[in-house]
Homo-oligomer: A and B are copies of this chain.
Amino acid sequence: MDFAPDATTTALTGRVRAFLHERVLPAEPVLEEQLAATPGEWGSRPVVRELQAQARAEGLWNLFLPDGAAPGTTTRTRRGAGLTNLQYASVAELTGWSPRLAPVAFNCAAPDTGNMELLAHFGTPEQQEHWLDPLLDARIRSAFCMTEPDVASSDASQITTRIRRDGDDYVISGRKWFATGAMNPDARLLVVMGKTDPDGPRHRQQSMVLVGRDAPGVTVVRPLSVFGYDDRDHGGHAEIVFDDVRVPASNLLGAEGDGFAIAQARLGPGRIHHCMRALGTAERALALVRERARTRSAFGGPLADKGVVREWVAESRIELEALRLLVLKTAWLMDTVGNREAMTEIQAIKIAVPRAVQRILDRAMQVFGAAGISADQPLAEMFAGARALRLADGPDEVHLASLGRAELRRP
């Protein structure tokens, strides 16, 4: 057992950290200005493009994509940066310091990362050429259309969207929402989950299909907000209606009935990324709190001298250290024994990290007083993001029950 990062990780995180502090954090107010100047507009602002150009020039690009075989397959991707999940995890954490800018700057932002992984592992050469390469180039963006407004979509058997075979085509009908990023006009690709075989075995009913955003019958109905945030620069969260949308049969990702398995494959690395970013967000909050507590006074002394502030930062530090190790071990398990064997840990971090980060952010807001819940500090928006994570990929309780069931079956 060895808790020291390897040389690749040390070197890479050093470069990413420098980029973060020199380029990304100073760009945050620039983004705010550009957003204020273009109130009605959806999608990335110029500052994002500049950061992407710089990151790409420095070789800090597409780091999320492992250069290996997908779990359960033997197809190796040729396009990745070649990092293990464990190595990439520490990079992902750093991008969490600036969740609106850093992930996209490195072309490592969800949901594109998950979609690119699917294409890398399950896509045909034609699909990869058509969709994956532009995504890896950041020429286009993408969205993942899984959740539906009318059913509890964490139960995949309840999905109502239909994907019917009709000659050489598939015809898609249904309503999806919380398709993150889909308000962005650059989001050319929609990865859509639906049922090709509603009467098949529970986990073989679903398939996944690639749909161009401008296909006839696709209607982006409206944006949804999270707390009061519309995530306009990222591309928001869209409700989309698919009204007999017709795509060629070659747009199927994997085989018919593979939809559930593909979605599951997407979740493993996705949770590592989400959780590590969330921990980075919490580290940013803690750094802000330290600065505030040293410089702000009340009732006769700096906040840093108040017992309750000390307790809060101590509790936050303890939670962060323990949970980071759990996420890193999960990444290591995925690298060494595979997603399936890491299932307990993957569920554990999905449950434990977002709520801990929510707590840490809640305490941080309290230290900042009214400023903490306003837009003058990034805390409230970060809180909304952490809160949303407790619902993303299914509410925590589904995973908690599943983890408990598995634990109770252990000998």
B3 near A308 with CB under 8 A, answer: no
For the complex, give the distance between the alpha carbons of A306 and B149 in Å.
20
**Does chain B have a CB within 8 A of A310?**
yes
A410 at interface, CB cutoff 8 A: yes
A57 adjacent to chain B (CB < 8 Å): no
Q: Bound state CA distance, A293 and B316, in angstroms?
A: 27
Given A225-B375, A315-B400, A375-B225, verify A3-B405 contact (CB < 8 Å): no
Residue A318 is within 8 A (CB to CB) of chain B in the complex: yes
Q: Are B322 and A404 in contact (CB-based, < 8 A)?
A: no
Say which residue of B225, B299, B321, B372 sits within 8 Å of A348 (CB atoms).
Answer: B321
Q: Is A255 an interface residue (CB 8 A)?
A: no
Q: Which residues of A167-182 have CB atoms within 8 Å of chain B's CB atoms?
A: 177-178
Task: Note all chain B residues with C-beta closer than 8 A to A310.
Answer: 400-401, 403-405, 407-408
Using known A-B contacts A326-B322, A329-B325, determine if residue A225 contacts B403 with beta carbons closer than 8 Å: no
- Given the known inter-chain contacts A227-B383, A314-B407, please indicate yes or no for A373 contacting B388, CB distance below 8 A: yes
Interface majority SS (helix, strand, loop, mixed), chain A: helix
How far is A312 from B388 in the complex, measured between Cα atoms in Å?
19
Q: Does A154 contact B (CB under 8 A)?
A: yes
**Chain B residue nearest in CB terms to A328:** B1
Q: Are A366 and B390 in contact (CB under 8 A)?
A: yes
User: Which residues on the B side are within 8 Å of A86 (C-beta)?
Assistant: 1
Interchain CB contact under 8 A, B2 and A401: no
Q: Is the CB of B311 within 8 A of A400?
A: yes
Q: Does A391 sit at the interface, judged by CB under 8 A?
A: yes
Asked if A318 contacts B351 (CB within 8 A), the reply is yes
Contact with B along A311-339 (1 / 0, CB 8 A): 11111111001110110110011001000
Residue of B nearest to A86 (CB): B1
Number of interface residues of A (CB under 8 A): 95
Interface residue A199 (Cβ < 8 Å from any Cβ of B): no
Q: When each residue 282-311 of chain A gets 1 if its CB lies under 8 Å from chain B and 0 otherwise, what string results?
A: 000010001001101111000110111111
Q: Which of A8-25 contact B (CB under 8 A)?
A: 9
| A398 CA to B298 CA, complexed, in Å | 10
- Asked if A400 meets B345 with Cβ closer than 8 Å, knowing A5-B1, A326-B321, the reply is no
In this complex, what residue of B is CB-closest to A408?
B304
| A82 interface residue per 8 A CB criterion | no
On chain B, the residues within 8 Å of A178 by CB distance are 370, 374
Interchain CA distance A311-B408 in the complex, whole Å: 10
Residue in B153, B318, B366, B369 whose CB lies within 8 Å of A403: B318
| Residue A128, interface by CB 8 Å | no
Flag if B177 contacts A370 (CB, 8 Å).
yes
CB-defined interface of A371-411 with B at 8 Å, one 1/0 digit per residue?
Answer: 11111100011011001101100011110110111011010
- A144-180 Cβ-contact flags toward B at 8 Å (1 or 0): 0001010111110010000000000000000001100
Q: How far is the CB of A206 from chain B (nearest CB, A)?
A: 16
Known: A226-B374, A308-B397. A296 touches B1 (CB 8 A): no
List residues of chain B with CB within 8 A of the CB of A387.
Answer: 362, 365, 373
Establish whether residues A348 and B318, one from each chain, have CB atoms under 8 Å apart when the complex forms: yes
What B residues does A395 contact at CB under 8 A? 366, 369
Which 6 A-B pairs rank lowest in CB-CB distance, beginning with the nearest? A307-B307, A228-B228, A310-B404, A152-B298, A314-B404, A325-B325
29 pairs of residues in contact across A and B, judged by CB atoms under 8 Å: A1-B332, A152-B298, A155-B299, A224-B375, A225-B374, A227-B227, A228-B380, A304-B408, A306-B307, A307-B308, A308-B308, A308-B401, A309-B404, A310-B405, A311-B400, A311-B404, A313-B404, A314-B401, A316-B407, A317-B403, A321-B348, A322-B323, A322-B325, A322-B348, A325-B325, A365-B387, A366-B390, A366-B397, A372-B391
